[in-house]
Amino acid sequence: MLVYFNNGESRLFDFATIVDRYPVFAPLKVKDTLKQFHISDTLEWFNGTIDIAPEYIFEHGEPIDDENDIPVAGEAPIDYEK
């Protein structure tokens, strides 16, 4: 997921890094479910049952070259269930 922050920076966050590691995020393996997020103070799914802090995404996401929308350090493939 490409996330734009209000400080002008962007991060590419690979949810594959957390869906297998933390069982609460397992439903996000399904791409259609991942797409159904809501933004409040966090990114959330299922009316806040699942959420992730923007600070976590910023810290663990890959910085993006905003002019070209490409990862600064390379791009990792994401394997989602259909």
Instruction: Give the 3-state secondary structure of residue 19.
Output: helix
> Is residue 12's pLDDT more than 80?
yes
The token pair at 14 is 């690979």
Q: pTM for this structure?
A: 0.75
Give residue 67's pLDDT band: very low, low, confident or very high (50, 70, 90). low
Sheet of 50-52: strand order equals 38-39, 43-45, 50-52
What is the C-alpha to C-alpha distance for residues 3 and 40, in angstroms, rounded to an integer?
Answer: 14
What is the C-alpha to C-alpha distance for residues 77 and 24, in angstroms, rounded to an integer?
Answer: 22
**Greater model confidence, 7 or 69:** 7
